[in-house]
Structure 1
Amino acid sequence: MYTQHNHTHNPFGKQGQCNAFERSGFGKKFKEHFMGGNDPFKEMFDKKINNYKPVNITENENNFTVQLYAAGLHKESFKIAIKNQVLTISYTHEEKDPDSKLIYQEFYESSFERRFQLTDKVFDDQVLALYENGILTVTLPKNPEKNKPEQKVDIK
C-alpha cells in the first residue's frame, strides 16, 4: 500500500525566510549574544552548496564542450588550465569591501575548482573559453587523427 505524507512544517524555515526561532525575540538575542549575529551551521552548509558549480558536458563531431553555471561571477577571476590531460577550471573570490557590514545574506560567492580528465582525443593547445550570461563555456576541439569512427568486429 502506498502512503503519501505531506509535511508542511519545516523546522529550518523556508528559503529566504527565517524560522520561528529566529523570528522570536529570544532567537535574535541568542544569535546576537552567543554567535555574534551569525548562524555558523547555515553559513557552513550554504557555502558548501555554493562552492559546487554544476556543469553540462556535450560532444559533437568536432568538439567537446563544458558549460559551467557561474552566474554573477567575474570573468577576470577565472583560471582555466590543462596539465597532464586534466582540464582545471578554478575561480578565486576576493572579498569586496572589508568596511561594509553584511546584514543579510542568501547567496555566497566563494572560490572553487573543478577538474575534468581529458583523453588524447583533444587538441589541448586550441581550447577556447567564453563567459556569457552567467555561463562559462569551454570548447575543446577534437583531434581528428585520434577520433576515428568505431570499427565493428565480427564474431565468428
Structure 2
Amino acid sequence: MSTLVTMPKNGSDVSKRNNLTSLPSFSSWFDNFFENSLGTEFLSNFNTGITLPAVNIKETNEDYVLELAIPGMKKSDFSIDVDNKTLSIASEVKHENEQKEENYTRREFGYSSFKRTFTLPDSVESDKVKATYKDGILMVTLPKREEAKQKPPKRIQIS
C-alpha cells in the first residue's frame, strides 16, 4: 500500500509533519488499494473452490500419460471426454450440510469445479484412452498409434 503520511527524516522540522498536502487524496488511496496486492488477494479469496489442478505429462514409447493431483474426490466426480482431437477433464462437486436444533438451523453448502482441456496429437489412438483414480491421483493414459511408436534401431549389414 502506498505511504499515507510522509515522515520527516532525523533533524527535519517537526512542524512540516503536520502539512496536510503530504496526505494522498481519498481517490488516489482507493485506486492504490485495488492496484496493489492487497486488493487482488482480497478479491481472489472469493473463489474457494478447486483451482485448476497441476498436470504432469509423460511420454513413453507406447503412450502419453497425464497425471493430475486431485485429492479428496471420488471416481464418479470426474467427467472425461474425447471429442475429435480434444480431451476434456472436468469435475463438479456440491456439498450440503444442514443441522437443525431447537433454537437454530445451520446450513452450509459448497461448490467446486474445474475443467481442463488438451489438444491431442494425431499420434493418439483416441478410441483406447483409459483413466484410473487412486490415492488422489487421476491418471489418464493416451495410447499412441502403432505407426507413431518408435521402432528399435536396426543394424544394416553391408554386402
Superposition TM-score tier, normalisation by shorter sequence:
0.5 to 0.7
Larger Rg: 2
- 1:98–1:121: structure 2 CA closer, same or farther, 3 Å change rule? farther
- 1:45–1:148: structure 2 CA closer, same or farther, 3 Å change rule? same
Deviations 1:28-73 (A, max 9, x none): xxxxxxxxxxxx74632544xx321111000000010000110001
Deviations 1:63-121 (A, max 9, x none): 1000011000121010000112011000011223255545xxxxx76111000110110
How many angstroms apart in 1 are the aligned matches of 2:143 and 2:118?
Answer: 15
Paired residue type of 2:143: P
Unmatched runs of 5 consecutive residues or more in structure 1 = 1-39, 103-107, 150-156
Cross-structure match for 2:52: 52
Q: How does 1:1-156 map to 2 (within 5 A)?
A: 41=43, 43-47=45-49, 50-99=50-99, 101-102=107-108, 110-147=112-149
- 1:56–1:122: structure 2 CA closer, same or farther, 3 Å change rule? same
TM-score, scaled to structure 2: 0.57
> 1:137: how far off?
0.2
How many angstroms apart in 2 are the aligned matches of 1:135 and 1:109?
Answer: 21
User: How many residue pairs get matched?
Assistant: 103
Tell me the SS of whatever aligns to 1:65: strand
How many angstroms apart in 2 are the aligned matches of 1:109 and 1:71?
Answer: 16
- 1:62–1:109: structure 2 CA closer, same or farther, 3 Å change rule? farther
Richer in strand (by share): 2
How many angstroms apart in 2 are the aligned matches of 1:42 and 1:146?
Answer: 43
Is this contact kept in 2: 1:65–1:138, CA < 8 A? yes
- 1:116–1:98: structure 2 CA closer, same or farther, 3 Å change rule? farther
Identity of aligned residues (%): 32
Unmatched runs of 5 consecutive residues or more in structure 2 = 1-41, 100-105, 152-159
How many angstroms apart in 1 are the aligned matches of 2:44 and 2:80?
Answer: 31
Is this contact kept in 2: 1:70–1:134, CA < 8 A? yes
